[in-house]
């Protein structure tokens, strides 16, 4: 089979690979999979010189040229930060070798019972994998939907605890941007324990088949064990404990005490919904991404829970200032939402500091509390955040931020609307309207004790669809949390759609 010209730059000579792997020595072998043996070695490739992973096709495993070329083509066309990157390939002397980025932490299945894989790290791995799979399911108008067919923990690679989906050789194409995609297969493939029972029974592959497999992985991460190797059905076990509200009995003991109850509630609900017998009740991958983001946000908030609640600043006001404040609060025209952001600053500019501070807080606090992390935050921290909010206007068709740009501000929308989409092809376009907010990446980064100094990257592009007014927080969010020594956050609910009742039959 001849190579298409657009892939020629990825070709790596066999002699280079043999030199890097010491002629495929056992010392260079780092694993075995459904494709064959996997080796590591250092060589020059399309993106430079680095350590790489090399997957050597073994025809005894039942896969041949079609799977090899499918993976070359797909990984060259479908590019995403949470999908493994193809660096090159070799097809000399009847040898078929794929060259990937080397994931130093290897695959997720090897770390399910690793104490270093904290609950926060587990959430990040699951979130990254969910984003990669969501991209494959809805890559955009110009590409085809990809159904992976073999989602499992051994096909999720970790590099510094950032997940990347691998092994697309068994995947199938379907039309993109349609609610339903049905692919009838002549033979069912996948891995026992992860395969959707409906797919095994009918041979009909749908995107919800991948969702089922991903739900199995989520419960593996929670339980710290693989889905096979024990007596009985893993999925039956986890569903039973979920319905009986006894998940703590099967959560891996090393992470049980560190999981925030609200984080567990969100995470387990997502995983349970993925395993629904009725595929129409399973969530979309984009819904799973949003749910996992919420679970991570709840978990990261525990870093603040040990701090004590301080008294609201308005209780320190002198009696006459309290009276003034009460008079102001009786007039709705002083509220930002009623006046659309016009003139509030001039209204309160000449007031004494204390009532001015609290009026600003009163104007903004309702919007802030739409954010789960802020919902029951202590008054001092809310005061500090409100003081840093500033009005901001955007004209029609102006861009607020583009995907990949650093996020250093949060915007709370007062009027107008935003179009939210990704530029890498992920079809999750939507609208943000009055009362919504954007910039949640900054919030998660700010309260994460493991976050670096650089601001997080935006996961989407935001564009004003009409003249837009809002209030902006552009100061360092992390600085606020670090400065406030007394704060408290309580979380009692999730923001997931209620797809089911706990006792519904599966």
Give dist(CA 340, CA 250) in Å, integer.
51
CA distance 468 to 452: 32
In whole angstroms, what is the distance from residue 248 CA to residue 436 CA?
34
Helices 261-274 and 285-300: crossing angle in degrees, nearest 10, is 160
**84 to each of 100, 139, 165, 166, 437, how far by Cα in Å?**
7, 16, 6, 5, 32
Instruction: Tally helices (H) and strands (E) across the chain.
Output: 16, 19
Environment class of 284 (CB within 10 Å of its CB; exposed 0-12, middle 13-18, buried 19+):
middle
Contact of 98 with 234, CB cutoff 8 Å? no
β partners of residue 172: 147
Token digits of residue 83: 């999908």
Per the residue annotation, which of 91, 150, 210, 358 is the catalytic one? 150
Tokens of 54: 């090399």
Q: What is the DSSP letter of 496?
A: S
Please classify residue 303 by burial: count the beta carbons closer than 10 Å to its beta carbon, then call 0-12 exposed, 13-18 middle and 19+ buried.
middle
Is 55 annotated as a binding-site member? Answer: yes
Full DSSP string of 402-423: -TTSB---EEEEEES-EEEE-T
Determine the Cα angle at 475 with ends 472 and 476, to 5°: 130
Secondary structure of residue 85 in the 3-state scheme: coil
Among this protein's residues, is 150 annotated catalytic?
yes
Side-chain-side CA neighbours of residue 187 (13 Å): 4
Q: Which of 334, 306, 297, 351 is nearest to 127 (CA)?
A: 297
217 in Cβ contact with 153 (< 8 Å): yes
Residues 6+ apart with CB under 8 A from 171: 70, 74, 136, 146, 147, 148, 149, 150
Tokens of 409: 């501000």
371: closest CA among 349, 391, 389, 351?
A: 389
Name the binding residues for ATP: 55
Active site residues: 150
Name the binding residues: 55
């Amino acid at each position: 089979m001849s190579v298409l010209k657009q892939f020629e730059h990825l070709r790596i000579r066999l002699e280079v690979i043999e030199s890097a792997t010491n002629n495929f020595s056992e010392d260079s072998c780092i694993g075995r999979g459904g494709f064959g043996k996997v080796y590591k070695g250092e060589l020059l490739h399309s993106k430079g010189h680095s350590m790489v992973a090399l997957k050597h096709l073994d025809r005894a495993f039942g896969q041949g040229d079609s799977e090899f070329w499918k993976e070359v083509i797909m990984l060259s066309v479908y590019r995403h930060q949470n999908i493994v990157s193809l660096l090159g390939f070799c097809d000399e002397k009847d040898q078929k070798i794929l060259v990937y980025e080397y994931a130093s932490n290897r695959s997720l299945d090897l770390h399910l019972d690793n104490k270093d894989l904290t609950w926060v790290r587990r959430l990040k791995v699951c979130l990254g994998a969910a984003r990669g799979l969501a991209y494959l399911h809805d890559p955009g108008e110009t590409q085809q939907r990809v159904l992976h067919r073999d989602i499992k923990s051994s096909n999720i690679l970790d590099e510094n605890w950032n997940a990347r989906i691998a092994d697309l050789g068994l995947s199938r194409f379907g039309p993109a941007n349609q609610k339903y995609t049905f692919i009838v297969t002549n033979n069912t493939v996948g891995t026992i324990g992860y395969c959707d029972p409906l797919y095994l029974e009918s041979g009909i592959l749908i995107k919800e088949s991948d969702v089922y497999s991903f739900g199995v992985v989520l419960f593996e991460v929670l339980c710290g064990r693989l889905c096979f190797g024990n007596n009985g059905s893993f999925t039956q076990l986890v569903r039973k404990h979920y319905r009986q509200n006894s998940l703590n009995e099967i959560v891996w003991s090393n992470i049980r005490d560190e999981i925030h109850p609200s984080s567990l509630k969100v995470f387990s609900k997502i995983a349970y919904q993925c395993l629904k017998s009725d595929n129409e009740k399973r969530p979309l991958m984009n819904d799973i991404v949003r749910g996992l983001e919420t679970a991570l946000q709840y978990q990261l908030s525990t870093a603040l829970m040990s701090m004590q609640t301080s008294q609201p600043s308005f209780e320190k006001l002198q009696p006459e200032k309290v009276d003034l404040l009460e008079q102001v609060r009786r007039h709705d025209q002083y509220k930002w939402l009623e006046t659309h952001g016009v003139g509030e600053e001039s209204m309160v500019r000449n007031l004494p500091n204390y009532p001015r501070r609290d009026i600003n807080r009163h104007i903004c606090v309702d919007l802030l509390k739409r954010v789960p992390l802020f919902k029951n935050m202590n008054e001092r921290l809310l005061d500090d955040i409100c003081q840093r909010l500033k009005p901001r206007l955007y004209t029609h068709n102006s861009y607020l931020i583009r995907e990949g740009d650093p996020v250093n501000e949060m915007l709370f929308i007062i009027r107008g609307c935003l179009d939210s989409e990704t530029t890498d092809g992920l079809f999750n376009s939507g609208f943000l309207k009055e009362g919504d907010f954007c910039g949640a990446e900054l919030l998660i980064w700010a309260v994460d004790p493991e976050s670096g100094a650089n601001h997080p990257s935006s996961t989407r592009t935001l564009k004003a669809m009409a003249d837009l007014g809002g209030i902006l927080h552009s100061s360092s969010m992390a600085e606020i949390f670090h400065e406030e020594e007394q704060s408290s956050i309580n979380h009692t609910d999730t923001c997931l759609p209620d797809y089911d009742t706990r006792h519904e039959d599966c």
